[in-house]
Structure formats: C-alpha cells, structure tokens
Amino acid sequence: MLCIPITADTNEKALQDVQETSQLADVIEIRLDYIANPDLEMLLRHRPKPIIATCRPTREGGRFDGPEEVRIKLLEQAVELGAEFVDIEHDSIQQLHKRGKAKVIISYHNFKETPANLKEIYARLSDSTANIVKIVTTANDITDNLKVFRLLEEVGARHAVPLHGNGKPLIAFCMGELGLISRILAPKYGSYLTFGSLDVGKESAPGQLTAREMLGVYHVDKINQETALYGLIGNPVGHSLGPYIHNAAFRELGINAVYLPFKVENLREFVQGFKGLKVQGYSVTIPHKEAIVPLLDGLDPLAREIGAVNTVVNKAGNLMGYNTDSTAALRELEEGLGDLRNKKVLLIGAGGAARAIAFGLKKKGADVTLINRTEDRARRLAQELGCHYRRFEDVTKIDGEVLINTTSVGMYPKTDVSPVPPEALRPGMWVFDIVYNPLQTCLLREAEERGCRTLDGLRMFLYQAAQQFELWTGRPAPLELMERVIREKLKTK
Ligand code: ATR
C-alpha cells in the first residue's frame, strides 16, 4: 500500500493536499507536527482514504518541539475522531492511553545508519501493545538496503497477520538517496506500507520519491513477491533515463519486472551482496564498465574482446557480461555516415565507452586516433586496439573527418562545457556525442555553429538499451515506445 504524507503547514493547505492525494494514495499520513494549530476535526471529516495521525517530535526527526502532553493529547484526539491509524514513537507508547479502534504503529527512526541489530529492534518493538511496527533507517551504502529486505523476509512481514501476537506487520525501508530502492521494493518484501510524496518539495523524509513517480515510473502498485529485478549500476545514476524506458517497456509487454537505479560506490561488495536478491539483469554505466569485468562469471566473446561490459544477464545464477554499446554506436554512425572504412576518426576519451566504440570502428576499418585527459590511458588503449593516440593539447591540430565524444563531459547537470575547444571542430566534419542528456550538448551546439554535421546520443542510447532488453527478456524491444519515452523525458527535464 502506498501512503502519502501531508506536510502542509496550515489546515487549509493540508485539507487541499488531503483531497489531492485521493487518486494516488491507499493511506494518507497527516503530519500534525507540520501544522501550527491542527484542526483535527476538519481534517478528518473530509478524509477520502484511511488516515495515519502522526505528530513527530524533533528528537525523532519531526518538527514538534512543544510539551509531550500536548503532543500525546493531539494523537488521542485523532483516535477519538476515528483516525484509522496512529503513529507513536517507540519511547512514547506507554503514554498513549486512548486508542479507540485505531491501529497503533510503533515507530523507530535512525537518521545516522542502518544498524546490524534490526531483528532485535523489531523484537523489542513487536513486544509492545502496538499493532504494527515501523523501522526506518538511513542507508549509507546501497548494501544497507539488504539488511532491511532480510529483516522483512525473516519476520515474514508478508504473512504476518495484523493484530495477532508477535508476528506483527512491519513497515521497513531506508531513507536517503541510497535507500530509494527499498522504498520501491517495499511491497516485494512485504512491507505493510511504503511512502511517496505528493509532489517535489513535499517530502516528509530524505529520499522520498513522489507518489506519481512511484506509480507512474516504477509501478509500485503492481510490485509483488514474484516481480523480477533489473537495474542500472553506476555512479551517479540520478540523471539516467534507464528506469523510464525499461520500466515502460516491461509494462508494455506485460512483464512482471522492475528496473531500479543502483548507485554503487563499492562495486565488489555490491555484486556479491546483491547475488542473494537474484537480480536478473543489469545495465552498467560510468564508472563501472571495465571494473565489473573481473567480478562476473563469464563474458560474451564481443565483451571479452572489448574488455568492457554495459549489460549483465543472470543465467541460472551466473552473471554473464555483454557489450551492446559497440553495436549501438556503430549502427548510429553507419546510419549517418554510411561506410566507415578508412574514415579518419578522432575519439575523445579512453574509458569503457571509448573502448567499445574504438573497437567497433577498428573492425569496420576506420583510422582511429585516441585523445584523453589522462594521456597514459589513451596510450595504453591505443596500443591494445592498434590505433593512434595524441596528446590532448594537439586536439586542434588533428585533421579528422569524424570526432566522437565518449566522455561524460557536457552531461546533465554540467551542461555548459565541451570536451574540446571549438577550434577542433572544422566545417564539414561529422561530430557524434554519445551524451544523450541533454540531446543538444555544448559540443554539438558549437559543432553546428561551425558548420559540422552532428549525431546526438539518442539513437545509440536507444539501440544499446533495446538490445539489452532483448538479451534479458528474449523478446523484441518496443523501440518506438522507448524512443517516445526518451524524447518526452528529455523535453521535461
Ligand atoms: P566509462 O566506462 O563509462 O567510459 P570511465 O571509464 O570512467 O567511464 O571513463 C570516462 C572517460 O571520460 C575517461 O576517458 C575520462 O578521462 P580520464 O581517463 O582522464 O579520467 C573522461 N572524462 C571524465 N570526466 C572528464 C573531464 N572532466 N574532462 C575530460 N575527460 C573526462
């Protein structure tokens, strides 16, 4: 069930927000600590959905800093007025005497970390007179989410029967950007509720997505125990369009799966830790395309030759690496330029994407020169692939017919920079930027101004994602839908 918290600071605004949630929420949480003088009677009289009354004190991350008796009284008043749920902090439950028919949620918040003893905390909270337990912690690493999933599974949250003994229903997830996946997957592991905000800026806790995104992008209302997991490994991942296109494609084909953004700092720990979740497939992006290679169980011949992976498929527990960047980039280049044989290509960058594209170009017979901020990396890659390399300072002196940017320079949010000075761009030259967010990068704008022909990152992104989707599902990707989603998203950014 999806709960939308109301964080307005006046009764009138709160009432308006309560009405607005009615299409999206299963449950509405009224945060009484945000409202100066809450008019409970009015707020509860007009409720379109069951209500949780919460009045969080500052010590538990809320805004109420008045006397404890006043706070408890407010909650008891909500109970008397028929609120379906009342949330009370673990250290205050003794003081709540009036309960009426309300189900009591006993809550624990940890704004510092996700402690190792979650099961102990659950046992302690469960051993109270409450009906439902809520444990919310902070994720400092993506693997912290695993502790919460384990807890939900261990306590059998999915099967716990409300109002019966110790196996009390559990609401559990992690806060913060790194906890986002636990909010989306809460229904898969049996959390009684998950939370989404009414709008951007109306969040009641760090890392809360909007309810519209929870439902419209991640289809949280359709997630269940059987939902298969896919996701993007990268850092950062917040800007990625992957979740929009892959989730839309799963929906279109009626596949019960969800695609998540995994912001990964420690790749080895992540790959090991997440094996237990049986993630069916990954996309891999900056900066992990090469680093993931030794952590996999096997490689497709093309990925092995390239030495970089942007797609992982879980084949009966074995993580197999593929590369769809190379084919996708070459397809876009050939659609624009035709035959690539003997074309003089100047390629900026020496990372995983550069490796895949340079490899593909060499195979097509192009004459490739690498240029990179870190010259040594360009030299090593050039030696490996049998192409040329030059110092970065020489970028304006090279006579290329095609210039390709494979770095992340110019990508959202730092969109006003180009990887090369404008003098490197000559009239008639083809300029291809693999950055797709934004579609018109600073590099492409300057290239057009100087009379170059340009290719943006859309088709490469689309083709690599489509091939990836086909490797995961064995079904043709809905290419038109995927393109529409990308264009729509880029327009609204
Ligand atoms: P990926 O595997 O996705 O290609 P990567 O291996 O981290 O990611 O490579 C990123 C590429 O972008 C590298 O060529 C990097 O240059 P360095 O080798 O010097 O690090 C390049 N890059 C990233 N940020 C850059 C910047 N601000 N200026 C110039 N080049 C940059």
Share of the chain above pLDDT 70, in %: 98
Q: What's the helix, strand, coil split of the chain in %, to 5?
A: 40, 20, 40
Kindly report the pTM of this predicted structure: 0.91
Residue 489 has pLDDT above 60, yes or no: yes
Share of the chain above pLDDT 90, in %: 93
Residue 478 has pLDDT above 70, yes or no: yes
- pLDDT for 160: 57
- pLDDT for 183: 98
C-alpha 337 chain-centroid distance: 35
What's the CA-to-centroid distance between 419 and ligand 1, angstroms?
10
- pLDDT for 162: 47
Task: For 397-432, write each residue's pLDDT tens digit.
Answer: 998 999 999 999 999 899 999 999 999 999 999 999
Residue type, 377: R
User: Which residue minimizes the CA distance to atom 29 of ligand 1?
Assistant: 373
Does residue 434 line the site of ligand 1, with CB under 6 A?
no
Work out whether the CA dihedral 179, 180, 185, 190 comes out positive or negative.
positive
- pLDDT for 232: 98
Count CB neighbours of 154 within 10 A.
12
- pLDDT for 164: 43
- pLDDT for 239: 81
Residue the block writes with tokens 């400092």 = 140
Tokens of 340: 């690539």
Cβ(153)–Cβ(159) below 8 Å:
no
Task: For 299-330, write each residue's pLDDT tens digit.
Answer: 999 999 999 999 999 999 999 999 999 999 99
Going by C-alpha positions, the residue among 79, 82, 85 that lies closest to residue 99 is 79
What's the CA-to-centroid distance between 430 and ligand 1, angstroms?
21
Task: For 346-396, write each residue's pLDDT tens digit.
Answer: 999 999 899 999 999 999 999 999 999 999 999 999 999 999 999 999 999
Q: What is the mean pLDDT of residues 114-131?
A: 95
Task: For 150-194, write each residue's pLDDT tens digit.
Answer: 999 988 766 655 434 457 999 999 999 999 999 999 999 999 999
- Catalytic positions are 109, 134, 289, 325
233 sits in the region (left: phi over 0; alpha: psi -120 to 50; else beta) called beta
Residue of 408, 412, 441 with the most ligand 1 atoms within 8 Å of its CB, for mutation = 408
Task: For 9-53, write each residue's pLDDT tens digit.
Answer: 999 999 999 999 999 999 999 999 999 999 999 999 989 999 999
Q: Chain-wide mean pLDDT for the chain?
A: 95
The DSSP H or E segment spanning 163 is none
Q: Which ligand 1 atom lies nearest to the CA of residue 289?
A: 2
- CA distance linking residue 328 with residue 345, whole number of Å: 17
Task: For 59-85, write each residue's pLDDT tens digit.
Answer: 999 999 999 999 999 999 999 999 999
Burial class (CB in 10 A: 0-12, 13-18, 19+), 128: middle
3-state secondary structure 8-62: CCCHHHHHHHHHHHHHCCCEEEEEHHHCCCCCHHHHHHCCCCCEEEECCEHHHCC
DSSP readout, 378-405? Answer: HHHHHHHHT-EEE-GGGGGT---SEEEE
Does residue 374 line the site of ligand 1, with CB under 6 A?
yes
Residue type, 460: M
Does residue 168 line the site of ligand 1, with CB under 6 A?
no
User: Which residue minimizes the CA distance to atom 21 of ligand 1?
Assistant: 407
- pLDDT for 163: 39
Cβ(35)–Cβ(11) below 8 Å:
yes
What's the CA-to-centroid distance between 370 and ligand 1, angstroms?
13
Does residue 414 line the site of ligand 1, with CB under 6 A?
no
Tokens of 484: 């529409």
Going by C-alpha positions, the residue among 471, 411, 464, 400 that lies closest to residue 437 is 411
Does residue 381 line the site of ligand 1, with CB under 6 A?
no
Tokens of 469: 């989707």
Going by C-alpha positions, the residue among 464, 486, 467 that lies closest to residue 477 is 467
Tell me phi and psi for residue 204, to 5 degrees: -105, -5
- pLDDT for 238: 87
Task: For 208-231, write each residue's pLDDT tens digit.
Answer: 999 999 999 999 999 999 999 999
Does residue 350 line the site of ligand 1, with CB under 6 A?
yes
What's the CA-to-centroid distance between 418 and ligand 1, angstroms?
13
Does residue 307 line the site of ligand 1, with CB under 6 A?
no
Going by C-alpha positions, the residue among 52, 61, 18, 12 that lies closest to residue 36 is 12
User: Which residue minimizes the CA distance to atom 31 of ligand 1?
Assistant: 407
Q: What is the mean pLDDT of residues 284-289?
A: 93
- CA distance linking residue 215 with residue 225, whole number of Å: 17
